[in-house]
Structure 1
Amino acid sequence: MVTAPAAADAVARARRLPGLAVGLHLVLADGPSALPPSRIPALVDARGQFGNHMARDGVRFFFLPHVRRQLAEEIRAQFEAFAATGLPLDHVNAHKHFHLHPTVLSLILSIGRDYGLRAVRWPAEPGSGPWLKPWLALMRHRLRRAGMLSNDHVFGIHQTGGMDEQALLDVVQRLPDGLSEVYLHPATHGELTPAMADYRHADELAALLSPRVRQAVEERCQLCHGFSDPAAA
């Protein structure tokens, strides 16, 4: 999240870990914008904050040309901010999987090519609701047509905020064939944002540091260092 309060610290840490694959997590809901409110008044409030009414905003993205123009400017600004870090761009996704929206995905693909975009997260977790399947299928088709790398599965949506040690072990034990992405929201304390009030960040951090999880991963998985790793192909 290039607009988040700890972005500079995250970039500094990433520079000290050259083997770490870093992606752009676009924020178009529930977070701060890169551009000032005067540039994108149809998207953010006076404080430069995106709202959390994603269904309403999704309709506006699709039907209102002036909103789409502002959306394109903001997406480009966030790509620019990532490029300014000097870090290689491994992949792109969006906060709360907003890139599943066809308009958002179109803008990501068209703008992203100017910044070396090669990979996009496909937010398809086994057991996703049937109403999502047509949207996921359309997204998969568009990513392939655009020549984008993507994962085959993702884990962490259904139990978001609660990916503790046992949940992570359960995922590792039942990973399907193909390239899977497992994501968590680890931190040393809770209440990072109002929308994450119920998230157990410390439990997720403990899960990532768990010797039991490490052993299970070593026994059952081949780790990939980002989407650009040849092992991910």
Structure 2
Amino acid sequence: FAKAWVTGRVRREELERELSAQLFRARELGAKVDHLDGHQHLHLLPGVRSVVEGIAAREGLPLRWPDALPRASWLRAPGPAVKTTVLAVLARTAPRARPGVRRVSAGGVFEAGRLDESALLSVLDSLPAGDFELGCHPGEGAPHVPEDPAWTYGWEAELAALTSPRVKAKLVERGITLANYGELQRASAS
């Protein structure tokens, strides 16, 4: 997709139709769509961003906005360092959101899969005020990501961190209220 986008083969009208059709189909299948985002954050690409923001405004849905810079300790491997830098630049240099679009700052996107208890506590200590999405990939068993076998996620470590009494205590200490996008959407509508 990125190659097609760079070479100008992604047509805005087709993108709008496809994304609208996907949203319609998800709802038709019973999904309660409570926000928009893009696989691998493709919605940050100029041209794609404006289409996605148009749909978000039309549908009254918040938009995941991964603008939180990754911590330097997460930028050890060259591949992730390039990707995270490009994503952060795209998110932070994008024009203001159009009226009716609520971008929800997202972090942990770059750290996801490596958020053990210590790392999660550190992220919680650095959260800004306001609504914030923390991306993570908890689970059990050996991780396998078919689209990129080089990705490694510490699913079990993240599950343990997210259920840790120390993390729960940190949430209380910082006055952090856990919510999902649906709750944010209802709060902004009222």
TM above 0.5, one fold?
A: yes
Which residue of 68, 77, 94 corresponds with 1:139? 94
TM-score scaled to structure 1, two decimals? 0.62
CA distance in 1, matches of 2:109, 2:69: 10
Determine whether 1:125 maps to 2:68.
yes
CA distance in 2, matches of 1:169, 1:134: 26
Q: What corresponds to 2:22 in structure 1?
A: 78
CA distance in 1, matches of 2:102, 2:159: 28
Secondary structure, counterpart of 1:170 in structure 2: helix
What CA deviation, in whole Å up to 9, does each residue of 1:116-147 have, x standing for no partner?
A: 24210111013587765653245350x2x231
Q: What corresponds to 1:148 in structure 2?
A: 101
Q: What corresponds to 1:107 in structure 2?
A: 51
CA distance in 1, matches of 2:33, 2:189: 16
CA distance in 1, matches of 2:12, 2:188: 37
What's the CA shift for 1:184?
0.5
Secondary structure, counterpart of 1:168 in structure 2: helix
What CA deviation, in whole Å up to 9, does each residue of 1:65-95 have, x standing for no partner?
A: 6x54543343223212221133432111111
Aligned residues: 173
Determine whether 1:230 maps to 2:187.
yes
Aligned letter for 2:187?
P
Q: Is 1:79–1:112's contact at 8 Å kept on the other side of the alignment?
A: no
What CA deviation, in whole Å up to 9, does each residue of 1:19-45 have, x standing for no partner?
A: xxxxxxxxxxxxxxxxxxxxxxxx6xx
Q: Percent identity?
A: 29
What CA deviation, in whole Å up to 9, does each residue of 1:188-218 have, x standing for no partner?
A: 1211424254211222122222222122112
Secondary structure, counterpart of 1:93 in structure 2: coil
Aligned letter for 2:25?
A
What's the CA shift for 1:182?
0.4
CA distance in 2, matches of 1:91, 1:213: 26
TM-score scaled to structure 2, two decimals? 0.74
Which residue of 117, 126, 130 corresponds with 1:165? 117
Q: What corresponds to 1:94 in structure 2?
A: 38
Structure 1: runs of 5 or more not aligned? 1-42, 44-53
The 1:92–1:192 alpha-carbon spacing in structure 2 relative to 1, beyond 3 Å, is: same
Q: What corresponds to 1:199 in structure 2?
A: 153
Secondary structure, counterpart of 2:137 in structure 1: coil
Determine whether 1:209 maps to 2:163.
yes
Structure 2: runs of 5 or more not aligned? 72-83
Q: What corresponds to 1:24 in structure 2?
A: none
The 1:140–1:210 alpha-carbon spacing in structure 2 relative to 1, beyond 3 Å, is: farther
